[in-house]
Structure 1
């Protein structure tokens, strides 16, 4: 497996490439976050970023993300120029040697959390957390979304009301900020009125329509990906459930199977995010990894700890509800299968996802979920699991 590290670029990330080099990762996962959604990524801009990354001793392994404009997700109006721009960006990336593009199809928001610095059980560190009652308080009492109450348990709604009645303006501002923080590379940040407007643009758009719009996107771009030798891989919804009344369509086994069958091509693949999928109690992440192994082009490895009310938080990489060793074993088995059939792309790039803010990370102001030391701890733990499993495989082969 190829060790990679998500880096937000020289103008956004406080972590330097020299510091990333000290983690041992060999690949950088990057995007041109400074370019507004829907515009072409020029070959010149891509080449400049590639040169910067390669001069620091890395390969630019994966683009995360080449974002999809909201109008495409809504199926809004004449989209020809947006599809053309997306295809041109794909071509420019391919010309500069990038071969894997991670993207998502989540309406309006990317990953969603209510707390960016929830305290850890031990020590003074913190983690990202999704608190069901705070999300209910936001939707019901701050946003005033119609029918929001029907999405939550009565006990959660009671907690939401109590929290809201006791909250200060600063508390409510912090909650809005946390919910908006899942868009680290986006220019748009919404206040309550702005978010209401964005949600109103999805009025009347149901799950079937979102799927139809997704299918149209795949039909428009996958043939180009095939021609260019690119592999696109959709990122699961985070959390894997409807949010703010918006249909989400990449949340479970049935969703993934539908997407991969919608355009049956190796170029139409999956980013296996063990944390996103793991936040749904119905998702068996190791089983998902095995079922869709041949279409997994990229992996985010992290863990979550879930509560019965729908809340969850980021756990240490080997300490959450998901059997991380089983997930990695599935990926290694797939790599071996690809190697046996002599696929050049048999290695799967992965990165340690959302880490705890610990030790020297505290107070550094890095992107929520993307500290240096916390992710380094995660990478070291994952590296140990990978090496141990590979050793066991070799021992088995030697005695086979």
Structure 2
């Protein structure tokens, strides 16, 4: 496997590239141009500027997360074709500098949903928390105001330009059910996958987070069956998956090791983290250690070992620990601990008979 680490840029991240470089085994940065609005082209000048910053620290830029999809594409509006063309042009520019994988999602409006960015755990650390009952009784705009006040950083998937028109966008989705969203995703993939094949890019869709409908919005990338349906929309290696143990693992019916073994050849990127599920539907993110949460972390990493996975993998959301103040879920310390836990599992599984892929 190729260990990588997400970074949000010099202007919007307290974590430094020189610190990421010191985490054993991390080879690359998962990056994006976060200031560019969804649907806009990425300029080659800005791409190369980010490339220079990252590569100057001995880290590669082969994974982008993400090139956001404009809401008009998800809604299936007539304007979608111009945004799809922008997407293709951006892919082509990224391929020129050596990008190999683009992680993206097709979640309506919100890329992810949490109710508290700083829920305290028993050890005094804080983490991202989802409270089911609160979600069922709160208006979307009220939730946005509640969540954003807990972060001094912009939050991917909650960009200001998107949320400024929240009521209008939510109203537009009243005409979009799951079947229509599948149609719109197919239309997008039929346009962009051939272009991705030509320029050597692998697209890797991220599962919906959480993997069930929220605020009446359809969610479709939620389970093993739907992952298979997604891959069948356009049957190409360039139409692939981002496996996320946290997103898929929020639903206890998802068998994560089985998903890896079934679709391993189409998993181009992996986010591996833990969370603790509660019987009432709540969940909270924990340390990566298996005993701290509900995800079969050993089973997940064994499945990756068993299929001979050589793709990209990163620790995902971490807690805020040791007094670190930064982007919720994306501190340096707990994610660095996560890297070492994943390497520990990987090396231990290798020593018990797995093939050498590190």
TM-score range, shorter chain: over 0.9
Taking only aligned residues, the RMSD between alpha carbons, in angstroms, comes to: 2.2
Pairs within 5 Å for 1:286-365: 286-318=257-289, 319-335=292-308, 347-361=310-324, 364=325
Q: Would the aligned equivalents of 1:235 and 1:271 in 2 still touch at CA under 8 Å?
A: yes
Distance 2:150 2:259 in 1: 29
Closer, same or farther: CA 372–185 of 1 in aligned 2, 3 Å = farther
Q: Would the aligned equivalents of 1:30 and 1:65 in 2 still touch at CA under 8 Å?
A: yes
Question: In the alignment, which residue of structure 2 is the partner of 1:373?
Answer: 333
* Greater helix proportion: 1
Instruction: Choose which of 144, 168, 179 in structure 2 pairs with 1:208.
Output: 179
Q: Would the aligned equivalents of 2:128 and 2:284 in 1 still touch at CA under 8 Å?
A: yes
Distance 1:238 1:135 in 2: 14
Question: In the alignment, which residue of structure 2 is the partner of 1:52?
Answer: 53
Distance 2:192 2:53 in 1: 28
Q: For 2:270, what is the secondary structure of its paired residue? A: strand
TM-score computed with the length of structure 1 as normaliser = 0.83
**Structure possessing the higher radius of gyration over alpha carbons:** 1
- Note the C-alpha offset of 1:173: 4.3
Q: State which drifts further: 77-86 or 101-110.
A: 77-86
- Note the C-alpha offset of 1:394: 5.5
Question: In the alignment, which residue of structure 1 is the partner of 2:84?
Answer: 83
Extract structure 1 runs of 4+ deviating beyond 3 A.
175-182
Q: State which drifts further: 324-333 or 380-389.
A: 324-333
Distance 2:239 2:147 in 1: 36
- Note the C-alpha offset of 1:335: 2.4
Question: In the alignment, which residue of structure 2 is the partner of 1:343?
Answer: none
Question: In the alignment, which residue of structure 2 is the partner of 1:154?
Answer: none
Question: In the alignment, which residue of structure 2 is the partner of 1:219?
Answer: 190
Distance 2:355 2:132 in 1: 46
The Cα offsets for residues 187-233 of structure 1, whole Å up to 9 and x where unpaired, read as 43637xx4322200112111100000000010010001111111000
Closer, same or farther: CA 287–276 of 1 in aligned 2, 3 Å = same
- Note the C-alpha offset of 1:178: 6.2
Q: Would the aligned equivalents of 1:27 and 1:61 in 2 still touch at CA under 8 Å?
A: yes
Distance 2:133 2:227 in 1: 29
- Note the C-alpha offset of 1:79: 2.2
Closer, same or farther: CA 172–301 of 1 in aligned 2, 3 Å = closer
Question: In the alignment, which residue of structure 1 is the partner of 2:239?
Answer: 268
Instruction: Choose which of 384, 391, 397 in structure 1 pairs with 2:344.
Output: 384
Pairs within 5 Å for 1:61-210: 61-122=62-123, 124-139=124-139, 173-175=145-147, 177=149, 183=156, 186-188=159-161, 190=163, 194-210=165-181
How many aligned positions are there?
352
Distance 2:219 2:246 in 1: 16
**What are the ranges of 5 or more consecutive residues in structure 2 without an aligned counterpart?**
none
The Cα offsets for residues 245-271 of structure 1, whole Å up to 9 and x where unpaired, read as 000110111110110011011110000
Closer, same or farther: CA 182–290 of 1 in aligned 2, 3 Å = farther
Closer, same or farther: CA 82–395 of 1 in aligned 2, 3 Å = closer
Question: In the alignment, which residue of structure 2 is the partner of 1:4?
Answer: 4
Question: In the alignment, which residue of structure 1 is the partner of 2:41?
Answer: 40
Q: Would the aligned equivalents of 2:32 and 2:66 in 1 still touch at CA under 8 Å?
A: yes
Q: Would the aligned equivalents of 1:33 and 1:185 in 2 still touch at CA under 8 Å?
A: no
